[in-house]
Homo-oligomer: A and B are copies of this chain.
């Protein structure tokens, strides 16, 4: 039995290491590919502080890495957005939390949004990812409509523009994190203020 436990322990240890390195590679890859989709894998490896050889031990090839990154982005962005939606019944609170959630997701959200909005992406309702994206978007739309009826948001602005602004402010907040003096908390406050005032009547 003790031997069995050892195996378990070792396996847990190994699993832990694997997940640790593997997820570091994924996070790194999302960052790098978000900034430069065709960046060489060496850059991903450098960014993750491992060698390219190690990267190839975890991922069969570039396609697999990209696919796993997309999965990771889909899962964590959706989760964050759905949490934000579920966080309240108040549309204004929901909207704010969706913005904050996007900023917290960082380059994951930037990449996620680009993927679903990009020219090369052909949207397909039968694709689960697209369906989930639509679900979030429908919620977003409903929140905006509610707030427009309450006269908290301008009725002149289209949903398309508001969504565009929402994502645009998230993306620029994320990239600003790197080179500005403002704290992350300050950025989030500014982002929310600018967004909600920007679409007010």
Total identical chains: 2
| A30 located at the interface, meaning its Cβ lies under 8 Å from any Cβ of chain B in the complex | no
Stretch at the interface among A18-26, A37-45, A56-64, A72-80: A37-45
**Is B190's CB under 8 angstroms from A157's CB?**
yes
Q: How many residues of A contact B (CB 8 A)?
A: 38
Stretch at the interface among A94-102, A133-141, A164-172: A164-172
**Is B198's CB under 8 angstroms from A180's CB?**
no
Closest chain B residue to A169 by CB distance?
B168
Closest chain B residue to A118 by CB distance?
B35
| A161 located at the interface, meaning its Cβ lies under 8 Å from any Cβ of chain B in the complex | yes
Closest chain B residue to A154 by CB distance?
B193
- Residues in B with CB closer than 8 Å to A119 are 178-179
Binding site for B on A (CB under 8 A): 35-40, 117, 119, 154, 157-158, 160-161, 164-165, 167-169, 171-173, 175-176, 178-182, 186-187, 190, 193-195, 197-200
